[in-house]
Amino acid sequence: MNTASLPGQIDFSTLPDLTTLGQTLFEKAPIGTVVVRLSDSQIILRNPAFRHIADDRITSMSALIDTCCVDPKQQEQLRAQVRQAKSRADCEETSELPELVLDLKGADGRIRIVQHYALFFHKQDIAIGIFRDISDIKRKYRALQRDAFTDELTGVGNRRGLMERWNEEIEDDPAQTIGFLMIDLDQFKPINDTYGHATGDNVLRSLARRLRKSVRKSDYVVRLGGDEFGILLPDIESRIMLDTVSNKLLAVLRRPVVVDTLRLSLSGSIGGGLYPEDGKDLAAIMVHADHSMYSTKKNFPAKKRFPNEPAAVKIPPP
């Protein structure tokens, strides 16, 4: 009787002791691996590769999430995955955690970008967690992504970046209220025409920096084109908050811009929209904000200068 193994099958008779084989694989694998006790989240085994990812003083998955994971959104995603897997313990022998990319801070202070996956064995009360360091690949991808989503002149986001950020916010929390402000600079064209495009470009850079410093870190500033900017405000409380931010930014835009020996004066018009109240997608919210902005321009036109009133004041040398 032919007992030869079929292609793809393992001939266990030719293998070394499975305990020794398992130990060797666990220790020599270049991918970080841990065994976690499900009942109390304790890490009961870790391989050498994992020690490059997390400090040995991290003794539980709870501590790893709280201490090593530097992104709050990633923390909550991983906690939600664990809760969901544990909830299936009564109906499944095994559960798996979907792949998730985490930013983890190691003992050396470095942030490593890690691809995480886990398999839960409920009856054995253990889970096996896999942590694959993809830092180099991911950093190169993020650098390319930043270039693609960044306005070359001002360094803030562009339209593609706005769409990408919008999709991320909707995917993370489709029930949140999201604000959008559209900003159009007044009196910018005369500055461009009078003092040249290099001066105009410096004005745009300066105003982009101001806008970024004047909003929350979670808000996303973009240049939509020409002298138009936009700001995405995730998880905003109400329209009152949107109006408050808008009024604050109007005051910011009215401050003179200093370029070389010129002190330039200009202002801006702002219109806003709220998701989901004013539209069900980004395009609809932007249209609403645009109409709101031009309605404001119509009702409160920009101040007209008298013939002898300068658009710029020369700063005397020290």
**pLDDT, tens digit, 9 for 90 and up, residues 180-189:** 999 999 888 8
Task: For 40-63, write each residue's pLDDT tens digit.
Answer: 999 999 998 898 888 888 999 999
Confidence of residue 107 (pLDDT cuts 50, 70, 90): confident
| CA distances for 213 relative to 209, 216, 219, 248, 251, angstroms | 6, 8, 10, 12, 13
Residue with tokens 């370029």: 259
- Burial class, 200, CB count within 10 angstroms (exposed 0-12 / middle 13-18 / buried 19+): buried
User: Does residue 267 lie in a domain region?
Assistant: yes
Measured from the Cβ of residue 298, the count of other Cβ atoms closer than 10 Å reads 9
User: Does residue 6 lie in a domain region?
Assistant: no
Residue 134 sits in the same domain as residue 249: no
Residue 225 sits in the same domain as residue 294: yes
Residue 156 sits in the same domain as residue 287: yes
User: Does residue 94 lie in a domain region?
Assistant: yes
Is the Cα dihedral 99, 101, 105, 109 positive or negative? positive
Residue 122 sits in the same domain as residue 189: no
User: Tokens representing 108?
Assistant: 């050396």
CATH number for position 26 = 3.30.450.20
Number of domains in the chain: 2
Residue 180 sits in the same domain as residue 115: no
User: Does residue 166 lie in a domain region?
Assistant: yes
Domain boundary among 111, 139, 167: 139
User: Does residue 27 lie in a domain region?
Assistant: yes
Q: What is the pTM assigned to this prediction?
A: 0.62
Residue 99 sits in the same domain as residue 177: no
Residue 205 sits in the same domain as residue 305: yes
List the domain range (segments joined by +) for residue 116: 14-139
User: Does residue 4 lie in a domain region?
Assistant: no
User: Tokens representing 198?
Assistant: 């290099």
The single-letter DSSP state of residue 29 is -
**pLDDT value of residue 299:** 67
Residue 275 sits in the same domain as residue 163: yes
Strands, E assignment, 158-308: 178-186, 220-225, 228-233, 257-259, 262-264, 267-275
Query: Residue length, the chain?
Result: 318
CATH number for position 163 = 3.30.70.270
Cis peptide before 276 (omega within 30 of 0): yes
Which of 121, 117, 29, 128 is closest to 81 using CA atoms?
117
Q: State which H helix or E strand residue 82 sits in.
A: helix 72-87
Residue 209 sits in the same domain as residue 269: yes
User: Does residue 8 lie in a domain region?
Assistant: no
Residue 192 sits in the same domain as residue 125: no
Residue 247 sits in the same domain as residue 308: yes
Residue 168 sits in the same domain as residue 245: yes
Which of 84, 38, 42, 34 is closest to 60 using CA atoms?
42
* Mean pLDDT, rounded, for 12-32: 71
| CA distances for 157 relative to 146, 151, 174, 185, angstroms | 9, 5, 22, 17
What is d(CA 154, CA 146) in angstroms, rounded to the nearest whole number? Answer: 13
Task: For 184-233, write each residue's pLDDT tens digit.
Answer: 998 888 898 899 999 999 999 999 999 999 999 999 999 999 999 999 99
**pLDDT value of residue 302:** 55
Domain boundary among 82, 110, 139: 139
User: Does residue 9 lie in a domain region?
Assistant: no
Domain boundary among 89, 121, 139: 139
Do residues 203 and 262 touch, judged by C-beta distance below 8 A? no
